[in-house]
Amino acid sequence: MRVQISSRLASITGSAIRDIFKLLGDPSIISFAGGNPASSALEPERIADFASQALRENGRTILQYGQTEGYAPLRESAAEFFRHNGVHADPGHILPVSGSQQGLDLICKALLNEGDTMLVEDPTFLGALQTFRTYGARFAAVATDEDGAIPESLEEQIRLHHPKLIYLIPTFQNPTGRTLSLERRKRIAEIVNRYEVPLIEDDPYCDLRYAGSPLPAIKSFDAQGYVLYLNSFSKIISPGLRVAAVVCDDDALLRKLVVGKQSVDVHSPNLNQAIIDKYLRSGLLQQHVEEICASYAKQMAKMQQMLARFPASISYTKPDGGIFLWCTLPEGFNATELLTTATKRGVAYIPGTHFYAQAGQHHNTMRLNFSNASLENIETGMERLRELFISQGLR
């Protein structure tokens, strides 16, 4: 068969990451590469109960075609749930979607034309970069430091590039784990409203906090609705159910997100939305999140404790939550190339280069995930990594 692939996908392969995940089929490799919740954090029996309840009470609605705008009870319970992040949205402004990734895709579909510029943190979530690329986005980077994106840089880049869209992960960022300060949240909300540039606030990790005080979302300071807030139930309930939600206060834009969704999948499956709705209304979620956090906090502490024994030339982030740490090796060391040796020694990570908008840079960085590894595996895997780095001459 001879076919010509569309220009939007012709150059997109995603292979680098996929090849890494293929390696991970090998059970002898301890993986810090994914972004998965701990297997022990998943609750098959509870989810089966919620599914049965929902189907018993409302089965013929749930199994029938649903509304593109989402399962009405979930729009209400999600609106209520997001209040703890300072996001006060009308249920009519909540669009349940099939994972945050679909939220990103629909926003791009509604707003981006080929060649439009997006402002992103550098590094940022590689899955988001892939979606943006399928819409022909060009990228400009917002400078960041320990407190996240720097508002002065954001404003400068807006003036310079007139971006169509901004993408930030303000809390426990993927891949760095860093968190945007309160003051900067206010300033960034003000800037995007003043320049009238929509900002996607991607916030899947905010409830996974192990230290410090919760911060309100940028969205909570959004005066005119330029912040599109994205939150997901993947990290606190289940990624396999694929339920997230977009908060969009602008009716005209929301309508276009719905029209776009209609054309890509008609609607998200009702059963999955009903399960999440049941969980949100059960009163059980807070305790579940506390239990996850207690466990992840120990896993993060163990990984940091191991990193403290690494050669001093390696620096790493010290987040207050989330599921990732970000390591920087001295210039000249290549974490991308070292991965092959690492997997031979039974440990895997994601080379940091894949998180940068410009390909082929920052080969001295890497992302480590701790949420899906036991304390024992973190100890063993990190020791393997330490020995590898020392064998490479790192001091």
Contacts of its own copies in 226-255 (CB under 8 A)? 226, 234, 238-242, 249-250, 252-253
Q: How far apart are CA 129 and CA 137, in angstroms?
A: 9
Ranges of H-type helices in the chain:
7-10, 15-23, 44-62, 72-82, 100-111, 126-134, 151-161, 182-195, 251-265, 270-282, 285-307, 335-344, 375-391
Q: Which of 65, 283, 331, 395 binds its own copies (CB under 8 A)?
A: 65
Residue 323 beta carbon to its own copies: minimum distance, rounded to whole angstroms? 12
By CB under 8 A, is residue 2 in contact with its own copies? Answer: yes
Q: Least separation, in Å, of the C-beta of 233 and its own copies?
A: 11
Q: From the list 78, 94, 112, 307, which residue makes contact with its own copies (rule: CB under 8 A)?
A: 112
In terms of CB distance, is 169 or 329 closer to its own copies? 169
Is the Cβ of residue 246 or residue 385 nearer to its own copies in the bound state?
Answer: 246
Are the beta carbons of 84 and 280 closer than 8 angstroms?
no
Q: Round to whole Å and give the CA distance between 293 and 322.
A: 9
Q: How far apart are CA 388 and CA 380, in angstroms?
A: 12
When binding is defined by CB under 8 A, the residue of 60, 159, 309, 395 that contacts its own copies is: 60
Do strands 347-348 and 30-31 pair parallel, antiparallel, or not at all (unpaired)? parallel
DSSP-derived secondary structure for 152-189: HHHHHHHHHH--SEEEE--SS-TTT-----HHHHHHHH
Count the residues of the shown chain that bind its own copies, applying the rule CB under 8 A. 79
Looking at residues 303 to 362 of the shown chain, list those that interact with its own copies (rule: CB under 8 A): none
Amino acid (1-letter code) at residue 277: D
Q: How far is the CB of 120 from its own copies (least distance, A)?
A: 15
Two tokens, residue 271: 């059963």
Using the rule CB under 8 A, which residue among 217, 245, 271, 327 binds its own copies? 271
Alpha-carbon Rg for the chain in angstroms: 21
CB under 8 A: which stretch of 55-63, 76-84, 293-301, 342-350 binds its own copies? Answer: 55-63
Residue 112 or 154 with smaller CB distance to its own copies: 112
Q: Which residues contact 147 (CB under 8 A, 6 or more apart)?
A: 178, 179, 180, 181, 184
Question: What Å distances lie between residue 365 and 126, 302, 315, 329, 349, CA to CA?
Answer: 14, 20, 10, 6, 10
Residue 305: strand, helix, or coil: helix
131 scored as a contact of its own copies (CB under 8 A): yes
The correct pick among 20, 78, 87, 111 for binding its own copies (CB under 8 A) is 111
Residue 28 interacts with its own copies (CB under 8 A): yes or no: no
Nearer CB in complex with its own copies: 116/207: 116
Binds its own copies (CB under 8 A): choice among 25, 28, 39, 360: 39
Q: Is 363 in the site for its own copies (CB under 8 A)?
A: no
Contact set for its own copies, span 189-218 (CB under 8 A):
196, 198
The residue among 236, 271, 309, 303 whose CA lies nearest residue 37 is 236
Binds its own copies by CB under 8 A, chosen from 29, 30, 32, 36: 36
Interface with its own copies, residue 5, by CB under 8 A: yes
Site for its own copies contains 88 (CB under 8 A): no
Identify which of residues 43 and 190 has a Cβ nearer to its own copies in the complex.
43
